[in-house]
Chains A and B, each alone.
Chain A
Amino acid sequence: MCCRRMTVLILVLAMLFCAGTSAARVTLTMQVRSGPEGDASRKLVELWNQTKAKDAGFEVEQVDTTRSGYYTSVNNALFSGAPKPDIFLSYSNFTALYATNNLVVDLTDRFNDPTKYPYDKKDWYPVALELAQYKGRLYALPTDTNTYLLYYRKDLISKPPETWEELYEVAKQFTAKYNPKSPTKYGITFYGIRDESLAMFWFQIFKSYGGEFFDDKGNPTLNSPAGVTALSWVARVVKEGLVPPDITTYEYSQVYSALQSGQVAMGINWDAAYSGLMDPKESPLVAGKMAAALLPGVKGPDGKIRRAHNVHDLYFVINKNSAHIDEAFQFIAWATSSPEALRAYTEAGCSPPHFSIANDPEILKKFPSFALRQEAIVKYGYIEPHVPEWPELKDKLLSYLVKGWVGQLSPKDALDQACAEIARALGKK
Chain B
Amino acid sequence: MRGDRLRLYSKLSIAPAIAALCLSALYPFLFSLRLSFTDATTYNFTDVKWVGLRNYLYVARDPGLLYSLFFTLFFACVVVIIELVLGYAIALLFDRGFPGRQIMVTLMLVPIVVAPMVYGLSFRLMLNSFIGIIPYYLDRMGITVDFFGSTWSSIATLVVIDVVQWTSFVFIILYSALQNFPPELREAALVDGASWLEAVRYVVTPVLKPTLWIAGILRFVDALKVFDTVFMTTGGGPGNATSSLSIELYNRTFNQFRLGEMAAFSVVVLLVVSLLLKPTSDRLEASYRD
Contacts and interface: CB of A to CB of B under 8 A. Distances in A.
B255 A392 contact: yes
B43 A195 contact: no
Contacts, number: 99
Contact of A392 (B129, B236, B239, B256): B256
B237 A193 contact: yes
B147 A246 contact: yes
B210 interface: no
Interface string B223-246: 000000001111111111101000
Interface in B126-181: 127-131, 146-151, 154
A234 B232 CA distance: 24
A388 B43 contact: yes
B237 to A, nearest CB: 5
A330 interface: no
Interface residues of A, number: 39
Contacts of A408: 151, 238-239, 241
Interface in B204-254: 231-241, 243, 250-251, 254
B231 A69 contact: yes
Contacts of B237: 192-194, 248-249, 399, 402, 406
Interface string A57-74: 000000000001100100
A406 B239 contact: yes
Contacts of A112: none
Nearest to B144: A245
A211 interface: no
Nearest to B247: A194
Nearest to B251: A395
Interface stretch (A30-38, A257-265, A341-349): A257-265
Describe B's contact surface by its main secondary structure.
loop
B257 interface: yes
A254 to B, nearest CB: 6
Given A257-B131, A388-B43, A249 B233 contact: yes
A101 B149 contact: no
B182 interface: no
B146 A245 contact: yes
Describe A's contact surface by its main secondary structure.
helix
Contact of A406 (B43, B146, B150): B150
Interface string A152-184: 000000000000000000000000000000000
A108 interface: no
Interface size class of B (residues with CB under 8 A): 35 or more
Nearest to B45: A79
Contacts of B127: 246
A258 B256 CA distance: 31
A75 B129 contact: no
B148 A257 contact: no
Interface string A413-429: 00000000000010000
B52 interface: no
B128 A257 contact: yes
A425 to B, nearest CB: 8
Nearest to A79: B42
A263 B135 CA distance: 14
Nearest to B129: A244
A412 interface: no
Interface string A77-112: 001000000000000000001001100000000000
A259 B288 CA distance: 59
Contact of B255 (A72, A245, A246): A72
Contacts of B186: none
A257 B135 CA distance: 15
Interface in A230-244: 244
Contacts of B54: none
Contact of A399 (B129, B146, B233, B239): B239
A399 B254 contact: no
Interface in A307-348: none
B232 A68 contact: yes
B64 interface: yes
B85 to A, nearest CB: 29
Interface of A: 68-69, 72, 75-76, 79, 97, 100-101, 192-195, 244-249, 254, 257-258, 260-261, 263-264, 388, 391-392, 395-396, 399-400, 402-403, 406, 408-409, 425
Given A68-B232, A245-B149, A408-B239, 12 more contacts: A68-B231, A75-B42, A100-B43, A101-B43, A192-B238, A245-B146, A248-B234, A249-B233, A254-B128, A395-B251, A402-B237, A408-B238
22 contacts: A69-B231, A75-B254, A194-B235, A194-B236, A194-B237, A194-B251, A195-B235, A245-B147, A245-B149, A246-B149, A248-B148, A248-B237, A248-B238, A249-B237, A264-B130, A392-B256, A399-B236, A400-B239, A406-B237, A406-B239, A409-B239, A425-B256
Interface of B: 42-43, 64, 124, 127-131, 146-151, 154, 231-241, 243, 250-251, 254-258
Ranked 4 nearest A-B pairs via Cβ:
A245-B149, A403-B239, A261-B130, A248-B238
